[in-house]
Amino acid sequence: MAVSERDVVIIVAVVMALGAAGTIVPLLPGLSLIWAAALAYGISQGFGAAGLAAFATMTVLAVGATVAGYVVPQRRASGSGAGTSSVWLGVVGAAVGFFVVPVVGLALGGVLGIYVGEHLRTRDAGQAWRATWATVVGFGVAALVQFATALAMIVVWVAWVVAA
């Protein structure tokens, strides 16, 4: 049974929507899912000149936003005085929290890990909270950047589909 171009477009659109959700909900791979869906579309339907330009643009957008996902929270954390060890403790806390408390454990574990790390490092609850909050804001800004990028990637893909 052959899959029609319309079916491919619908499947790719659904996968891309899941990828966009994945930039906010950390259970899905987000930008890489959108990128992979575009690659699959190009392979199945052919790239052509418009497709190559669109796919290259989507790749640049994905790489830039992925880098921002790491750089923005780290800069916010270090700008508030948070130690690298505290950020890593937040990562460990997020991983543990993900398995201990479904759905909200990732965020709770991450925040708790950063706070505990900073409190142990500085012995100052106020400073620990300021560093934790700055880091959380950094992750929020990074998530918004990635979500906006996901939408931009999808718009580029739609332009590619229309141009084909």
**Cα separation of 83 and 101, whole Å?**
26
Residues in the chain: 164
Return the DSSP state at 54: H
Token representation of residue 4: 């029609």
**Cα separation of 21 and 15, whole Å?**
10
The span from the first CA to the last CA of the chain, in angstroms, equals 23
In this structure, the dihedral spanned by the alpha carbons of residues 83, 106, 95 and 81, taken in order and rounded to 10 degrees, is 0
Q: Helices H, strands E: what count in the chain?
A: 6, 0
pLDDT of residue 95: 87
pTM above 0.75, yes or no: yes
Token representation of residue 79: 């700008």
Count of Cβ atoms closer than 10 Å to residue 117 Cβ: 24
**Cα separation of 21 and 24, whole Å?**
6
**Cα separation of 54 and 121, whole Å?**
47
pLDDT tens-digit profile, the chain (164 residues): 677 889 999 999 999 999 999 998 777 789 999 999 999 999 999 999 999 999 999 999 999 999 998 899 888 888 888 888 888 898 899 889 888 987 788 889 989 999 999 999 999 999 999 999 998 898 889 999 999 999 999 999 999 999 98
